[in-house]
Amino acid sequence: MLELRYYGDPVLRKAAVSVDKFDESLKEFVSGMIETMRTEDGVGLAAPQIGVSQRVVVIDASGGDQEPYILINPEIVYSSEEREDYEEGCLSIPGINLKVNRPSKVSVKAQNESGEYYIIENAEGLLARALQHEADHLNGILFIDHVSPVQRALLKGKLRKISERQRD
């Protein structure tokens, strides 16, 4: 299992770099990400959350009923105008769940671990939410950045404790 990084770690605020080498080490890395996501009971995991600033994401919105999506260099190519509020949490910000307003449908173009392109079209529900949440991670954006300054101010103490945990 790979080690999670928590709020306060600078890697979570950096834009990740594109992957250009599709080799056995990438496949092993992806496998480790899937194992970590499942062990931590997450819906998705982005490489920066384990300290690697690369554009790699794994998502399983099926609760383990299907193979997880592996998204290398993902790009949101469509977002619906219709939006919805839905509660989100994050493995890198444990113990905090907030309602976040996002587009209700998205389409994402990505590569698999062999470098082949594919598209997830008109994803909705938890999958759409996870795709957007994890894509944000690749750009140094956290879900708490989508809530009001007042909400963030109310979380200041909890966020400080998480940040201190990161340093320990």
pLDDT tens digits for 39-95?
A: 999 999 999 999 999 999 999 998 888 899 999 999 999 999 999 999 999 999 999
Establish whether 75 is a catalytic residue. no
CA-CA distance, 11 to 113, in Å (whole number)? 23
Q: Which candidate in 24, 40, 88, 134 is catalytic?
A: 134
| pLDDT of res. 165 | 73
Q: List phi, psi (to 5°) of 43.
A: -90, -30
CA distance 36 to 96: 20
- CATH code for the domain defined by 10-167: 3.90.45.10
